[in-house]
Amino acid sequence: MIEAVKRFHQKNGFDIGTQSQATMLYRMNLMMKELGEISQCLTKGKGSLADTLIRLGRLGKK
């Protein structure tokens, strides 16, 4: 899992070694947005589960 996160950061140009407050807030906001979108997909109903699978599938992509 850690390797997938590192690849995601490298792919998107996130500085892995940076722990500045601005960078951490940006990452937290990005994560909150993605979790909100996944939550919306889960609460739509069975017919919309394809949205959820697409979003979750992106997490492990290179």
Amino acid at 11: K
pLDDT the model gives residue 62: 53
Report the pLDDT value the prediction gives residue 39, as an integer from 0 to 100: 80
* Sequence ranges of the domains in the chain: 21-62
pLDDT of residue 47: 58
> Among positive and negative, which fits the CA dihedral 34, 31, 23, 2?
negative
Q: What is the pLDDT of residues 1-60, one digit of tens each?
A: 678 878 887 887 777 777 788 888 888 888 898 888 888 777 776 556 677 777 777 765
Q: Is 26 helix (H, G, I), strand (E, B) or coil?
A: helix
